[in-house]
Structure 1
Amino acid sequence: MRTRKSRRLVAGSVALALGAGCLTAAPVAAQPDGGHTGDHADVQAVVDGFTARGVPGAMVFAQDRHRRWTVSSGTGKLGVDRPIRPWDRVRVASNTKMFVAAVVLQLVGEGTVGLDAPIEQYLPGLVRGNGYDGARVTVRQLLQHTSGMADYISDVLADPDANNHPWRPEELVELGLSHPPLFDPGTGWAYSNTGYIVLGMLVEAVTGNDVGAEITDRLIRPLGLWQTTYPQAGDKRIQGPHAHGYYAFPGQPVADVTELEPSLPGAAAALISTGPDLTRFVRALLAGKVLRPDLLAQMLTTVPAEGPDYGLGIREIPLPCGGVAWGHAGNMPGYDSFTAATHDGRSAFAVANGHLTNGDTANVRGAVESALC
C-alpha cells in the first residue's frame, strides 16, 4: 500500500483543489423541455446570476407529475454557444452518497448488514489506531456522519499527484485516520467522505462485488437510470454527451478539469449522472420503490447537522414556500449540483459547471428550492 502521510503536501497544486476561479460566460435564454413552455423567471434569474458572477454555465431541470421543464444560462463548454442540457452527464459528486446509503440499507433489509452493528464486525482492523476503534463505530453512524471520523479530502487536494493514478480505498481511509477523531462516535456531527469510503468497502466485503457493480445492479438498472454510471478506476473521461467542468487556479488561466481519476472520490462521490436520472432516483426512493417502508423511515430519520438536518445519506430540506424536500448536494472542482424531491412528486436538479469568481460555490440548493416552489 502506498502511504502519503509522510509526504510534504503542497496546497492548491492539484486539479482538484478548491478555491477561487475566474470564469465568464454570457447568459442564454430559458430552454423548455418536453414540449412545455412557461414562465420560470425566478429560476432563470437564479441561474443567470451564477453566470453573471463567473460560472461558465448552469442548468435547472424540474418536473412534477404532469410536466417537466428546463432553464439554462451560459455554456456547457467554453468557446461553444451551447447551454447545458438536461441529458448532459456531469460528475454529481456527493449525490453518490444517496445511492451508497440505499444499497447499504437494502443489505440491512436482507439481513446481511446490521444498521447498529460495529464496522469492526465487517472490516476487522480497518478502523483502528490514532484514537479510532471500529468496535465503537456503527454502520448507522457512518451513514449519518456521526462517527467522528476525520475527512481525507484535504490531504488528497494538497497532493500534486493525486489525479494521476488510481487509489485503493484503504489508502483513502488511511489518510482520513491519520487525523485524530473529531469527537467520540455518536456525540456530534461532521461531514466525512472517509466514512463513505468505508461504507463502500463494507458493501464489497459482504457482497464480494465492487460497490459500483452493486449500485448498478440494485439501483441503476432496475430504475432505468441509463445515463448514470459508476466509473471504474482509471476511467477518467465522461462518456457520452456531457458538460465540461472548469476551474481556475489563482494566477492561472481557466483549466478544463472534466477528466478525473474516479477512485479518488470513490464511494463518497464518483457517480456520473444527469438531471432526469437523479430526479427519477429520488422520486422512486421517496415513493417506496427502493427500500422497505421501515428502512425508508430509518433513512429519513434525521439529526441536526451543518446545513439541513441529515438522515442516512440524505438531507431534509425545508422549502421557503412551506413543506420539505429530500435530497443531497454534490460539490467538486468543476461541478456543483443539488438534487431534491418532495413526497407529492415534485423534483428538481441544478448544476453549475464551475466556481464563482469570489471562490464561493454556486447556490444550486437555492435554484432547486426556487424550482420546487
Structure 2
Amino acid sequence: MPFPLYLLTLAVFAMGTSEFMLAGLLPDIASDLGVTVGTAGVLTSAFAIGMIVGAPLMAVLARHWPARSSLLGFVLAFSAAHAVSAATSSFAVLCATRVVAALANAGFLAVALTTATTLVPADKKGRALAVLLSGATVATIAGVPGGSVLGTFLGWRATFWAAAVLCLPAAVGILIGSPTRRGQKNPADGPPLRAELAQLKSPRLLLVMLLGALVNAATFAGFTFLAPVVTGTAGLGELWISVVLVLFGAGSFVGVTVAGQLADQRSGLVIAVGGPLLLIGWPTLAVLADRPVALLTLVFVQGALSFALGSTLITRVLYEAAGAPAMAGSYATVALNVGAATGPLIAASTLSAAVGDLGPLWASGLLVAAALLVAFPSRGVLAADRSSEVLQ
C-alpha cells in the first residue's frame, strides 16, 4: 500500500480515539457536569449528527480544493475543538464542540475515503479502506483504553487534551507526505455536482447505505454503554473498562483486516456469514454479561463481526457510488454516522427499562435483526459484487 495511505491512517487513528473514547468516560463526564449517564450519551449522538451533516457539506465545499490543504485544515480544526472541550465546564458547550469536531472529522473522512481509493488500483478499494479504517480500530485498541486509563487517574479533561495534542503529528504527516490533489485527476475534470448527487437515486446505493447505517447503529448502541455493563452487571473494577475496550478494539482490527481481503470480490459471503453471527452475538452477550470470562470473550467476537460487516458494507457504498468520485466518501461517511447517531439514542432509551444496563446490548441485537430483514429480500443484489464494474 502507498505511504500516503498510512499518513491518512494516522489521522484516522487520532480522530477515532476521540470518537470512541467517550465509551469509557461517560460516567465521569456525567458526574462532573451534573447530568445523567443517558444524557451524557447524547455527546456521542451529537458527534455523529455533526458527521452526518458535515460529510456532504464539507465534501461539496472541498470539492475543488487540493486534498492536502483540505485534510490539514480539517485536522487542525478538530484539534482546536478538543482544546475548547477540555477547558469548558458547560455541558451545552461540550455538546457544541463535539459538533464542531464532528464537522471537521466529517470533512476529513469524506476526503480521505475518496483519496484512499484513488491511491490504489480500481479493484483494491476494499484493501485500501481496510488500511484506512484500521486507524479507527487501532484507536479502540490503544487510544481509547489509554484515554480511559488517563481519565481514571487524571480526569476526563486530560483525555480531551491528549486528543487535541494527538492530532498534531498527524497534521505534520499530512503536510509532508499527502498528495496535493485528491487523486490522479483534477476534481474539476470529474462529473458535475448534480450528476454526483443523482447517484443517490440508485436503489443499490441506498440499500447498502441503509444496511451500513443499521449495522453501525447496532455497533454504537452496544459499544457506547459497555462501561456500565463492565462495572455494574459484571461487577468488575473501573480499570477493567480499559481491558474490555482493548478486546473490542482488537476484535475490530481483526474483523477489518479479514474483511479487507474479501470485500472487493466476496462481499456477499461476508454479509451472509457475518450477519447471522452478529445477530446471535448481541443477545448472547446480554445473557452472559454477568460472567466475566464470557463477557471478555464475546466483546472480542462482537468487535470482529461488527467491523467486518460494517467495513464491507462501506466498501460496497464506494463501489455503488463509483459515478460520484468526489462525493462517494461523504455518502459512506453519512451511512456510518446515521448509525452512530441513532444507535446510542436508541440504546439510552432502554437504560430505564427492566433490563437496565443490558438494554443497549438487546437494542444492538434488534438493530442487526432489522438489517437482516432488509437485506434478505435483496440478497441477490448483495451477492453480486461490483469491483469489475468500477468506473475510473
Instruction: Give the TM-score category using the shorter length.
Output: under 0.3
User: Counting helix residues as a fraction of each chain, which structure ranks higher?
Assistant: 2
Using the size of structure 2 for normalisation, the TM-score is: 0.26
Please identify which structure carries the higher strand content: 1
TM-score by length of 1: 0.27
